[in-house]
Amino acid sequence: MSHYPKHVYINLKKYADLTLGLAAVVFFGSILIAYPYSEHFQLSVQIVAHMLIIVLAGVIKVAFITHMVAQKGINESYVPN
């Protein structure tokens, strides 16, 4: 049983979804910079894009786990009558 009110989990899910969406967009942009369009960017930009791919993969995983925890909390949260 959850110890937090439902609105806490709703806010957590909202921020997790926002983080997941933004990280996914930047992740795919980094992939485009790092691989198919690399000849159009300086080497320093390509290096940053490669580093972002690794970092954002972790951010996406954490945001998805947070989304699942919030969803479970919403489903199990106690709502007084």
pLDDT tens per residue across all 81 residues of the chain = 567 888 999 999 999 999 999 999 999 999 999 999 999 999 999 999 999 999 999 999 999 999 999 999 999 876 665
Query: Residue 52: which domain range?
Result: 15-75
How many domains does the structure of the chain reveal? Answer: 1
Residue 12 has a pLDDT of 97
In a domain, 47, yes or no: yes
In a domain, 37, yes or no: yes
Q: At what angle do helices 43-76 and 6-34 cross, to 10 degrees?
A: 160
pTM: 0.88
HSE-CB at 9 with a 13 A cutoff on CA atoms is: 18
